[in-house]
Amino acid sequence: MRRQRNVKIVATLGPASSDYEMIRALFEAGADVFRLNMSHGSHEEIRSRHAIIRQIEEDTGRPIGILADLQGPKLRVGRFARGEEELEEGQRFRLDLEDAPGDSRRVQLPHPEIFAALEPGATLLVNDGKIRLRVEECGPEHAECIVVVGGTISDRKGVNVPDVVLPLAALSEKDRADLEFVCELGVDWLALSFVQRPEDVIEAKALARGRAAVMAKIEKPAAVRAFSDILAVADGIMIARGDLGVELPVQNVPPIQKRLVRATRAAAKPVIVATQMLESMIESPVPTRAEVSDVATAIYEGADAVMLSAESAAGAYPVEAVRTMHNVALEVESDPTYREVIEASRRAQRESVADAIVSAAREIAETTDVKAICCFTESGTTAALVARERPRVPIIAMTSRRAVARRLTLTWAIYCVMSEELGRFKQAVVRAVRAATGEGFAEPTDQIVVTAGVPFNQPGTTNIVRVAPCDERLIYRAEPE
């Protein structure tokens, strides 16, 4: 199941993709990682989908990543006596803690934390920004607002507060229960919603205790402002453009996306571009031209992965959506301009021995007739460093840890091969050559680059780079013990 592309595809599972046949079809169409959305579905449904993915992994012999996306705190208005009301521009409207049905003048907002953080002049967005309110006067239990943009407001619509950092934890009680459940189940990644500060990520990582890597979803202006600190503690980044486009002017999102992708790449951490990538394919078998350009842009920027949400979870054409994304990636990555853009955005990193080793591996691969870079990785860090270089040749990651192989399915271009623990460098070279030739990356007459660390089986020891022939007889003749 070798993919002829570098960018990875994340497909969300849901009602339209919940049985073995459909999930297997999504994998064969190009999905590398499956997202389990904890906002929808019971624990039993999540458990069933997880088991199916692991069965497909066993049946195909390829590691498959599983990302559990935590819901995060949901801020919503209460209910209305008539179910909905029309708000007109310029009218006054009150939000308060009173537990009574709303009308055209007021409605409950059962979140005292919001009132504690509000100040006059702050903006409140309701129903994905379709209604915009400006706070005129506020207290610990209410906010008197002016309707800036009117429309229909109805029961339990979501509320966004873009102007302030809310004194809310990113993990609700539901999230804590879900986190423990999926970590025990054995997911590979946790996507953390409602991140506003690095402390949110630190808390999630403490609860995960290394059982899953933690990905910070960037969907709030506060997270954009604190991005450097969040990136420093997160294991990966998801640019969740849906809420980001609600809380910020939509024209701000593309340059933010570009900056965040580049910064995350430089940190050698995986970055996913997500939300509304092929939205029209929920109902249509073909996407719009603009959607195709959106996916292509993320690939040109060097994102590690692009993600499908409702398109694969609840749409009428889930397999077609994955296949479309796969085909767009193939076309973009075959474009000579793609290489120019990727290499122009590469940042030189020479802060450690490992940085120097992987940089040398890329330069050797690009200046000689080498078919692949094969790296031995205990924690996944070396493979991530090689991927940061965005080399022109394939990357084979050799690891003895299945959890590491699964997490690396989210990283650009990485093709994982399981390997037993090794004790000598000659053994490593032989295993690398067998992987490269056996998986179709090289022929016996070719060469590969091998990176490894001595002593073996210890994270953070990458200190060797070697050009190796793919003929095992030459290895035994030439390689030292």
220 as an active site residue: the answer is no
Find the catalytic residue in 3, 54, 74, 76.
76
What does each C-alpha distance from 337 to 302, 364, 396 come to in angstroms?
A: 12, 22, 25
275 as an active site residue: the answer is yes
381 as an active site residue: the answer is no
35 as an active site residue: the answer is yes
Burial bucket for residue 75 (CB in 10 Å: 0-12, 13-18, 19+): buried
Find the catalytic residue in 264, 275, 324, 382.
275
Just list the catalytic residues: 35, 76, 217, 275
